[in-house]
Chain A
Amino acid sequence: EVQLVESGGGLVQPGGSLRLSCAASGFIFSSYWMHWVRQAPGKGLVWVSRISSDGSSTTYADSVKGRFTISRDNAKNTLYLQMNSLRAEDTAVYYCVRIYCTNGDCYNEGFHYWGQGTLVTVSS
């Protein structure tokens, strides 16, 4: 069974930093591109970042570029999101997401498995 378990969320002051982790199990983690998606309380989904299966390629939303860094440790089956210079508008539930693959084909924009999310609150 595929499982994605996020951790590391919490309350942080504006300008502070936080590192989120996502522990993956039930699949060959090193074979899949992974994403982070966030959702502010009562608001819609917002894509944050993605990373290739080997970690060599990363992409970010403009709103977090230069402040957030996505990374992975395939030996530990873990995805990370380092968040620096946090702002109030970064307050959200952050989801770790695995893409959809079927019959040997993978679809980088189909977000199949989602974690339960971890809440990040940026406030003084």
Chain B
Amino acid sequence: QSALTQPASVSGSPGQSITISCTGTSSDVGGYNYVSWYQQHPGKAPKLMIYVVSNRPSGVSNRFSGSKSGNTASLTISGLQAEDEADYYCSSYTSSSTVVFGGGTKLTVL
């Protein structure tokens, strides 16, 4: 199972919005609404930000939103803040009943 494709890095200024893409195939992202997004700060465990494409766990800011079109899922962060600077990973359920992650995207807040 190949990793989902994410851009290696994105950047934005405080207050701006950014979008991170996550591209898979019809056997994972395109075939199921089981896409999640995680935020990971250096030296810390990942934090669940989005589940089943567009749902936020309790306690996650509504500045974070998710969507999906075809084989590509997206995470949008609006009103960018300094504390959003982190690595972001997408994941998806697959037709093999496994889970596959994306390679990760480093978000830099300028």
- Which B residues lie within 8 Å of A116 (CB)? 45
> What's the count of A-B pairs with C-beta under 8 Å?
67
Give the nearest-CB partner of B97 in chain A. Answer: A59
Distance between Cα atoms of A110 and B100 in the complex (Å): 12
Q: Does A68 contact B (CB under 8 A)?
A: no
Q: Does B24 contact A (CB under 8 A)?
A: no
Chain B CB within 10 Å, residue with most, of A46, A102, A109: A109
Q: Is B52 within 8 A of A47, CB to CB?
A: no
Interface residues of A (CB under 8 A from B): 35, 37, 44-47, 50, 59-62, 95, 100, 102, 107-112, 114-117
Q: Is A109 within 8 A of B48, CB to CB?
A: no
Q: Is A45 within 8 A of B36, CB to CB?
A: no
Q: Is A46 within 8 A of B101, CB to CB?
A: yes
Q: Which residue of B58, B89, B91 is within 8 Å of A109 (Cβ)?
A: B91
Give the nearest-CB partner of A112 in chain B. Answer: B48
Chain A contact residues: helix, strand, loop or mixed: strand
Q: Which residue of A100, A108, A111 is within 8 Å of B46 (Cβ)?
A: A111
Q: How far is the CB of B30 from chain A (nearest CB, A)?
A: 15
Chain B CB within 10 Å, residue with most, of A37, A108, A110: A110
- Which B residues lie within 8 Å of A107 (CB)? 34, 51-52
- Which A residues lie within 8 Å of B93 (CB)? 108-109
Distance between Cα atoms of A116 and B93 in the complex (Å): 24
Q: Is B103 within 8 A of A114, CB to CB?
A: no
